[in-house]
Amino acid sequence: MEAPLTDEQVRTAVLEALDSLPPGIAEQLGEVAVLIEDSHPEGLMGIYDPIGGLQRIVVFRDANPSLDEVKRTVLHEVGHHFGMNEEDLDRLGYA
């Protein structure tokens, strides 16, 4: 079994995923905060949380076994920010 990703590895993968967004999409993302937490009680890989004044994407380090999974999780949650459902994300390869 491989060692879990470090916080620095996850941060780097998150930044790479955000940097890969087309400029128009990145601008529309606006003030969405992207946070990294260790784990989610239900084992989620990530979550888009628009509740309250702060819109945020949370990536759960322990549930993302690779850098590619971290990037896919970020893009998946960005899709939710823009109103995409699971079927939309599946068609794009981010499910």
Domain borders along the chain are 7-85
Looking at per-residue pLDDT, the higher value among 52 and 24 belongs to: 24
CATH class of 7-85: alpha beta
Report whether pLDDT(79) > 60. yes
Task: Copy the structure tokens of residue 69.
Answer: 């999974």
How far apart (Å, rounded) are the C-alpha atoms in residues 85 and 95?
A: 10
Q: What is the pLDDT of residue 71?
A: 96
In eight-state DSSP terms, residue 61 is G
Residue 12 burial by Cβ neighbours in a 10 Å radius (0-12, 13-18, 19+): middle
Q: Where are the beta strands (DSSP E) in 16-84?
A: 33-37, 46-49, 56-60
pTM value is 0.90
